[in-house]
Each structure stands twice: as C-alpha cells, then as structure tokens.
Structure 1
C-alpha cells in the first residue's frame, strides 16, 4: 500500500476566520489623514516677542498698578477725614447721648494789675477785676444774656446801709458790674443777709445768667470783700440759711467728691427729685455756695425737667477754677 501525501494547507487565512491583529511594533506612528495631507508638526516654537512690544506691555501694567495704588490711598485718606474731621457725637455709630454738659470757650485767667501777685492761699485777695473772674456763658446758651432783671449797676453798699452812686456818676464799661445788694433780690428773706453785707462792707458784685437749649437756667453771683475774714461770715450765712426765691424744698447733701482746687470751700444744696410734679431722677434745682478768699459765689441752676448733675458739676468746677 502506498502512502498518500496530505494536501498542502494554504498559507492564507481561511474563509470566515477573523483577521489577525497587527503586532504593536508595526503600528504607524501617526494616523494618516484622510485627505492625504501631511500631519501637523507638534511643539513648534513660537516666534520671539518684539522687545518694544514687551516694554509697552510692562509700562501699561505699571501704570495700571500705580493708578490702583493712588485710588486706594485717596479712598483711605477720604475715609480718615470723614471720621476724624467732625465731632465724635456727629459721626454715625459713634454718637453718644449727651449727659447735659456744656461747651464753654477757652478759660483764661484775667491779667493782674502791675505789681500784683497771684493769690496762693485761701486768705489772699484777688487783685484781678471781679467781672473778669466770672464764668462765661456756654455755646448752648440761647436768647439774651443781659441780666435785665437785676438791679441797676454803678452802686455800692455804704456803711449806713444805703446805696450810693459811683463817684464818676457814669455807668462802668462792663454792664455786669452790679450793686452788692444784687443777691438780696434772689432771697425769700433778705433781711439777715442785708445786715451782713453792710456789716462786712461788700465792695463789689457781678452776675451772669443764661438759659441753655435744654431749658436749664443758670445764675451766677460773685461778691467781693476786703478780706477772707470779711467774706467768710457771709458765706456761712448763705451756706446755712440761704433760701432762694421760686425754689422750695432745698436740702443739704453730702459734699460731692469733686476735684476742686485748693483754697475753695463749697456746699451743695438741691431739691428732692420728683417733688415738682415732673417725674424724673434729677433734682429740679441745684445750688452751690462757694468761698474763695475774699470772694463769695452763689451758683443756682433750675429746670422743671431736672438739672443735669454733669452740667452742674461742670459749672461749679469751672467757676471755682477761675477763683482759686
């Protein structure tokens, strides 16, 4: 038996068999475009920028940042001025409720006559013009400040108790130079005080009145004597028995702990809060009697709605500073 040779197997793919995958190492590096054009090159360097254009771009950037810095500086300066220029109480968010204190002009001691010394002790005499030792009216004062209800000026209390005109017969330069009996018009029973003014020879008097915008009326009276020994009995009489007209129910209170200057003695009297028919916690009247060497001062503040404690302390302290 003879052997048959097997038919040769064709080397190509059999019909219906899947086409074999091409090896990875024979894949093309880049796909061929359908249009047949050459592929685009990757990573081609950009043309170098013109130096002049670069300088222009940098200059514009510097100008933009500089303008922004100037705007910020101007805005900050404007904000600072808006906060610091007005009064604190006028700035929204910083305004606080007023406690009644006033705004007074700058206080300066009056000039002394040539050869006169500044009083250093409570027993010293004041050489300055009494009228210039009077506290000025504050900014809150409204209406006329002239003491129209006070006695006529240019008169003094004589030892006999009668008022005599001045030697010159003319009114003094300042309208607030008054008769020493001026204070008598403020008292309910002035007889005892009149006797003391004559006995201890009151030499000069002055007064100032104002009504503030809150309705508080302030009256200040200054009386000058020949020495502290002559002024002291009048101060004691007022301190113990002073009874101003139109004020009822004055009572002595504990001396307040104020920073008063050396050489000034003072006593405070006030009404009981709520006794005037107006509800509130502040007295409707406060009175201070002061003694500073040869000068006696009476400060009266009234308001049906209540006299601010801060305003009262302010007025008394400032007047004392001018007398100390």
Structure 2
C-alpha cells in the first residue's frame, strides 16, 4: 500500500511511480498523465521546501513512464534553504561556516606558547652562563677557585726572529741538521714572576765556560764529560739562573753543537751518567710523560732518589736539534714536581 501525502485534496505520490495509462482499443495514443501541482505553502524557515516537479511531455510513439519528483531534504542548520530550480537540477550544497575554536583550545595554545618562550629564555641564559664559566680563569670565579699547585707565573714567551729565509730547527724537510739559527742566549727561558735573577751567572757575556759547566755533576764524571764535549764539537754554552719565591734555585744551560747528531750523542751520555753533584743518585721521574715535549725532541727527566740530602734535586735533559738543554732545580726540604715539569716544558717549547 502506497503512503499518500495529502495537501489541499490533491494526492502526490511519495515513493511509488504512477501507474501507466491504459490506451483505448480504437486509438493507441496513451493518455496524458495528470500531475497535480502542489499548492503553495506558507514559507516557514524551519520546514523544508518541496521542489516543484518538472512537466513531462507525452511521447507519441510509445508511452514513457513519468518518474516522481522527490522532495529535497531539509537544509542543514547554518545554511540557507533555497528551492530547487525549475529545470530540476539541484544546486550544490553550500558548506556551513566552520565552528569557532573553543575557548579551551585557545587557552591551551596560549599556555603552550608561554611555556615555549620560557624554555627559550632559560636556554639562552643557561648557554650564556656556561660561556661565562668557561672563558675566565677558574681562579677568577668565586666558589671555583683552584687550589694552588705550586706552579710559577712566567711571562709570555716569544720565539726570536730568525734571519730571512732561515728554517726552524724542527723543520726536518728544510733543516736536516736541526740547526738553531737564533742566538742560544735568546732561547733561554726567562725567570718567572717574583724570582730573583742571579746577575753574576754566568757573566755579562752570557756564555758559560766548559770548566764551570762540568762542575754541575759529580766529580767522578767531570773528566769524561769534558772529553765528550770537546769531541762532540761543542760550540758554546748559554746559561741563566734565578731563585723563586719559594726558595727553589733554578739553573738552565743550553749547549749548542755543530749538528744534531752530536747533540743527540751528548744527551744520551748525560742521561746515563750525568748525576748532579748535590744528589747521591737519581731515578726516572715517574710522573713525567714522554709526549710532554714538542715532536722531534727527546726529554729525560730525573728525580733525586731517597734518602735525599739537605737539598731536593731534580734534573732534566732535553735534546732539540743541535742543542741540549740541562734544567737543574734544587730546594731545601721537598721540591714539588709541578713547577719543575712546567719549567721543562716551557724551555722545550722555546727550542722548537
């Protein structure tokens, strides 16, 4: 049974198609279907508009079923309800405007933005603080003062100017002999801050006689050392001495030879038999690293063996090219290793 919708006593088919008209026996022409026009209803915004069905022309040759017109669905809330056009083509639906963002979402976005800005600010401040901590000396930062380890304060070191075109002593490609073209007296390590320089050592010329140098070692070795220095073509000896504020006496000797081969031979003899006169015996310093001098140099570092005498003695032999450096430190009581190692390293750098 077909559901009928009644409006002003006119029946409009809702779902089923209209029945096909029966032609008469005398004339095959089909009857023209009667389509009732809907009466105009009062326009109301809340009710849907019923589309007017298009007129159907009868076909002469063969009857054609007339399909019913289905009413347009009601417009969604937020869109304007417009009647279908006369040609039966329904217009595209107008999309509803997007709903406004909820207040809760906006508050969440603002909170996230505030936290992001805060994190950026703290990151910048933390980076600035880390940079400030790493730049100055630790002794200048309150609360991070480094305990005094006994090292000395040396002036800024500067290599002397070489003659034009002269290579550096450690330049093996251009200076196979390892010769120092600078005056050895300009390669002596300066005294640290607060030290008292011995102006009488060696003398005003700055050159030390060989006989004075051999007295640094024990009596049993002096004669052999004198012959070795003469045979190994010793050219001259530069020397400097000072007494630090803690009472440590430092003596630095630079022995320059004709070639680095002779310097290497003399350095090996000193490391084997060169015990200072103030020490009964010496042993290799276990706290010294073999890589603490520039490349191409060699260093033999010794500490006085126990039991020690009234003076604690430390001595080092550094060979750099055609020059051998002898660094001798002595101090009453116990002599710390830090200033001694510091002095050896700095003198080796000047010879590089």
**TM-score bracket, shorter-length normalisation:** 0.5 to 0.7
Q: Which residue of 1 aligns with 2:253?
A: 221
Q: Is residue 162 of structure 2 the alignment partner of residue 129 of structure 1?
A: no
How far is the alpha carbon of 1:93 from its aligned partner? 4.5
Q: Which residue of 2 aligns with 1:238?
A: 270
Q: Which residue of 2 aligns with 1:290?
A: 318
Q: Distance in 1 between matches of 2:168 and 2:181?
A: 8
Alignment of 1:127-276 (within 5 A): 127-141=181-195, 143-146=196-199, 148=200, 150=202, 175-189=205-219, 190-254=222-286, 256-257=288-289, 258-272=291-305, 275-276=308-309
SS in 2 for 1:222: strand
Q: Which residue of 2 aligns with 1:301?
A: 329
User: 1:166-208 CA deviation, whole Å, 9 max, x = no partner?
Assistant: xxxxxxxx63223344421212231001001111221121111
My pick for the range that moved more, 313-322 or 182-191, is 182-191
Q: Distance in 2 between matches of 1:100 and 1:274?
A: 23
Q: Distance in 2 between matches of 1:277 and 1:210?
A: 19
SS in 1 for 2:243: strand
Q: Distance in 1 between matches of 2:217 and 2:320?
A: 21
* Counterpart selection for 2:155 from 98, 102, 105: 105
Change over 3 Å in CA distance of 1:180–1:263 after alignment to 2: farther
Q: Is the 8 A contact 2:278 2:313 kept in 1?
A: no
Q: Is the 8 A contact 2:191 2:197 kept in 1?
A: no
SS in 1 for 2:332: coil
How far is the alpha carbon of 1:90 from its aligned partner? 7.1
Q: Distance in 1 between matches of 2:183 and 2:308?
A: 40
Structure of greater Rg? 2
Q: Distance in 2 between matches of 1:177 and 1:277?
A: 30
Q: Which residue of 1 aligns with 2:351?
A: 323
Structure 1 residue runs of 5 or longer lacking an equivalent are: 1-82, 153-173, 279-283
Q: Distance in 2 between matches of 1:272 and 1:238?
A: 17
User: 1:122-143 CA deviation, whole Å, 9 max, x = no partner?
Assistant: 74111011111111000031x3
Q: Is the 8 A contact 1:180 1:203 kept in 2?
A: no
Q: Distance in 2 between matches of 1:194 and 1:275?
A: 27
Structure number with greater CO (CA < 8 Å, separation at least 6) is 1
Q: Is the 8 A contact 1:180 1:223 kept in 2?
A: no
How far is the alpha carbon of 1:95 from its aligned partner? 3.8
How far is the alpha carbon of 1:110 from its aligned partner? 0.4
Q: Distance in 2 between matches of 1:292 and 1:317?
A: 12
SS in 2 for 1:231: helix
CA RMSD of aligned residues (A): 2.7
How far is the alpha carbon of 1:114 from its aligned partner? 2.5
Structure 2 residue runs of 5 or longer lacking an equivalent are: 1-132
How far is the alpha carbon of 1:116 from its aligned partner? 1.2
Q: Distance in 1 between matches of 2:331 and 2:231?
A: 34
Change over 3 Å in CA distance of 1:255–1:229 after alignment to 2: farther
How far is the alpha carbon of 1:302 from its aligned partner? 1.2
Q: Distance in 2 between matches of 1:108 and 1:233?
A: 29
SS in 2 for 1:177: coil
Q: Which residue of 2 aligns with 1:27?
A: none
How far is the alpha carbon of 1:256 from its aligned partner? 2.2
Q: Count residues with an aligned counterpart.
A: 212
